[in-house]
Structure 1
Amino acid sequence: MNRHCEVLIIGAGIVGCALAESLARNGLAVTILEAGVIGGGCTAAGMGHLVALDGSPAEWALSLAGVQRWQVRAHALPAAAEYRECGTLWLASSAAEMNEAERKAALYTNYGVSCQLLTAEALYQHEPELAPGLAGGLLVQDEAVMYPPAACQWLLERAQAMGAQLLRGRAQRLEQDGVRLEDGRCLRARQIVVAAGNQSRQLLPELPLQPRKGQLVITERYPGKIHHQLVELGYLQSAHGNAGESVAFNVQPRATGQLLIGSSRQFADTGLADEIDWPLLQKMLARAFHYLPGLRSLQAIRTWAGFRPATPDKLPLLGPLAGHPGVWLATGHEGLGVTTALSSAELLSSLMIGLPPSIDPRPFDPNRFSNANTPICPHALEDALT
């Protein structure tokens, strides 16, 4: 059976569903192809933080726009999305890190983002459970956390209400003007968007993507234990570094009263095997105990691993793919897919319908790595991790 679509989006994660909703709102006929659970891959495995990161000007622009778009739409989210503006508290453990907090505060203030530098005394008034000896911090008041699978389902339902269709099936390969499914069906489409996260390289092996494994722990319910999302100021070094393994302190208070503990990053040689790396998990928890000693006495109820689709420069692939007429990419968001889902969707949908995007698309051009002089991170193209 052949089926003809105007736009076919491969992958119903939060980025794919956000794009479907954006395109449908602009009057395009959209079909979303998904073989598994809606939002059940990278979307379900992550922490669900909505935080603007400033590892590069492009990352800052995309993530800030993403946070702001979620803030505008927060009132419409279902209760199941557990959207909560707890704010992000960046922790400084030294005078040098306080200097970094001051730099971030100047940047945020320049862009109209509400934030507050905290002395050590003020820090402990906000979070008395923190370990003694910290130098202070930076509170970004309006940032939030949420439960991504529910937000993903909401975006899909909004897209469907505007005419988008969900089709079940697994893409096997791209063909001229279409996609062949594993069951033999062929879908023809004027435009195809590959938004399949780590699975994108199964369709396009040349993509500069590598799965970057992460592990998380969630506790029993301890309401009021902490009040903000807590992140060490060294987090960006872990997120943007090229080390084979790294950990950083990041703890969220969930709407349920549970605490979600992260984070780790790992370029592993085990493909997409989701077994827990217990030595690395112990390092992650030791880092968490260093900042929040009271975690030692809490009961953990679940531990899991997931895979962030990483690019060499830590920026997603958003735009048309050279050499593949009609094929677009919306993948490679690593740990910022939830944060940037709405801004990524706005950027790509603008390009697809011929409108000027509000964010400069050039840093996200999927073809930027075709230049042989572009530096890439270690292991970024290892075929063993497809």
Structure 2
Amino acid sequence: MLQQADVIVIGAGIVGAACAVSLQQAGMRTLLIDAAQPGCGVTAAGMGHLVALDESEQELDLCLYSLNLWRDWVVQHPDIGQVTQSGTLWVAENEAQLQQAQQRAERLNARNWHAEMISTQQLHQLEPALRQGLAGAVRVSGDSIVYAPVIAHHMAQELKQLGGQLLCGYQVISLNQASGSSVNLELDNGQRLSAQHVVVAAGLGTSSLLPDIPVFPRKGHLAITDRYPRRLQHQIVSMDYGQHNMTADGLSVAANIQPRATGQWLIGSSRQDGQTDTQVSTIALGTVLQSAIRLLPCLATMHVIRAWAGMRPASPDGQPILGAHPYRSGVWLAAGHEGLGVTTALATAELLKDQMLGLPTAIDATPYAPSRLLP
């Protein structure tokens, strides 16, 4: 029998699970609902990196706030989620990219997130598998790799240990305002629930519950190799990453290769709009693999054991949608993180909790407010 909750969080991916734990720790009775199991959706399909991205000041603000929270979380939760502080090598293939790398290093160092320029010679000493002829790189030593589904599952169990509630296997099919100060939900089994606050962290399901919130799918392809331990130490990312240089069919690819704790290599990354399913495209996957092989030629001889595609929940302006719905009292959003859901999960949870409780936020939450996207 479910107990009355102050807050209901819809969606037990890593963002929703983090929000639920933060709210429960703040003294709010919290119920976390998921149609499947914690961490089984977008969280399970992604790469699982903790990385400082700086395509905008707002993006960097959120990343750095969250990365510092993750440092504390890892200390408090040892041996959870295969956390590896591999650091990231942002690899420049030409002089223009090397200048961009220098600018990235300057921006990160100005914010006390250590980054250092790496020469061509140093690059091959650090990672001998990289091809010859690269212009250099910037190494961001504080970045990490995690296995996010395990962390989301752990967070959901931690919620229960803190006295919160977890309800799995039931989908929320409608969300509406009650006559009083609460919000009503209906589940697919006909059950109705209500709470003073409802947090929608449902990923791509956000727009089905709230059609006015413009969260849309952005498809990506990934592949993973057999085990090749100790052949790669850093996460390798092309300086093209995130720049959305799309082909005529809307496909954007930039190499991102991670050494996993298992010894496997996880290979991405692509973005493609206008897709409606998660079927693997041989063209897109081939382009992803070719991009990775261009940086790490030895990949051409490695055994790829699995490939898959997933959908990132994206927003029109590239920033996540965090905070109170401007027209629906009691409804809160934690959506549209695209490829940064894992990185920014803890900051999302803290920003949402502080706003809900009327507390000052650690960083300016205005750039992520849902009101910016609604007429």
TM-score using structure 1 length: 0.92
- State the 1:78 CA deviation: 5.0
Corresponding position of 2:5: 5
Cα-to-partner distance string for 1:153-197 (whole Å, 9 max, x where unaligned): 122222222111002321010122210111111001100010000
Corresponding position of 1:210: 216
Cα-to-partner distance string for 1:221-268 (whole Å, 9 max, x where unaligned): 001111100001110203999982111100000000000000011113
Q: How does 1:17-96 map to 2 (within 5 A)?
A: 17-77=17-77, 79-96=79-96
Please give the secondary structure, in 2, of the residue aligned with 1:236.
coil
Aligned-partner Cα distance in 1 for 2:196–2:21: 18
Aligned-partner Cα distance in 1 for 2:2–2:140: 51
1:256 alignment partner AA: T
Please give the secondary structure, in 1, of the residue aligned with 2:32.
strand
Decide whether the 8 Å contact of 1:11 with 1:194 is kept in 2: yes
Corresponding position of 2:205: 199
1:38 alignment partner AA: P
Aligned-partner Cα distance in 2 for 1:235–1:328: 31
Aligned-partner Cα distance in 1 for 2:176–2:22: 26
Identify the match of residue 229 of structure 1 among 228, 232, 235. 235
Corresponding position of 1:360: 364
Decide whether the 8 Å contact of 1:2 with 1:186 is kept in 2: no
Decide whether the 8 Å contact of 1:329 with 1:366 is kept in 2: yes
Please give the secondary structure, in 1, of the residue aligned with 2:309.
strand
| Structure 1 portions without partners, runs of 5+ | 372-386
Identify the match of residue 309 of structure 1 among 306, 313, 331. 313
Query: 1:243 and 1:3, CA in 2 relative to 1: closer, same or farther beyond 3 A?
Result: farther
Aligned-partner Cα distance in 1 for 2:76–2:134: 38
2:18 alignment partner AA: A
Corresponding position of 1:104: 104
Corresponding position of 1:381: none
Corresponding position of 1:289: 293
Q: Stretches of 4+ moved more than 6 A in 1?
A: 239-243
Decide whether the 8 Å contact of 1:239 with 1:265 is kept in 2: no
Q: How does 1:107-256 map to 2 (within 5 A)?
A: 107-168=107-168, 169-176=170-177, 177-238=183-244, 244-256=250-262
Aligned-partner Cα distance in 2 for 1:195–1:249: 29
Identify the match of residue 268 of structure 2 among 252, 259, 262. 262
Corresponding position of 2:278: 274
Corresponding position of 1:15: 15
TM-score using structure 2 length: 0.95
Please give the secondary structure, in 1, of the residue aligned with 2:196.
strand
- State the 1:299 CA deviation: 0.4
Corresponding position of 2:180: none
Decide whether the 8 Å contact of 2:212 with 2:374 is kept in 1: no
2:38 alignment partner AA: I
Decide whether the 8 Å contact of 1:308 with 1:335 is kept in 2: yes
Please give the secondary structure, in 2, of the residue aligned with 1:328.
strand
| Structure 2 portions without partners, runs of 5+ | 178-182
Aligned-partner Cα distance in 1 for 2:50–2:221: 18
Decide whether the 8 Å contact of 2:313 with 2:337 is kept in 1: yes
2:213 alignment partner AA: L
Decide whether the 8 Å contact of 1:209 with 1:332 is kept in 2: yes
Q: Percent identity?
A: 42
- State the 1:41 CA deviation: 0.6
- State the 1:79 CA deviation: 2.8
Q: How does 1:299-378 map to 2 (within 5 A)?
A: 299-371=303-375
Aligned-partner Cα distance in 2 for 1:248–1:144: 19
Cα-to-partner distance string for 1:312-341 (whole Å, 9 max, x where unaligned): 111111011122111000010000000000
Cα-to-partner distance string for 1:109-159 (whole Å, 9 max, x where unaligned): 111112211111111111111111101000011210010011111222222
Please give the secondary structure, in 1, of the residue aligned with 2:195.
strand
1:343 alignment partner AA: A
Number of residues paired by the alignment? 369
Cα-to-partner distance string for 1:64-117 (whole Å, 9 max, x where unaligned): 111221122212335351000000000011111111111111111111112211
Aligned-partner Cα distance in 2 for 1:259–1:239: 25
Moved more, 238-247 or 213-222: 238-247
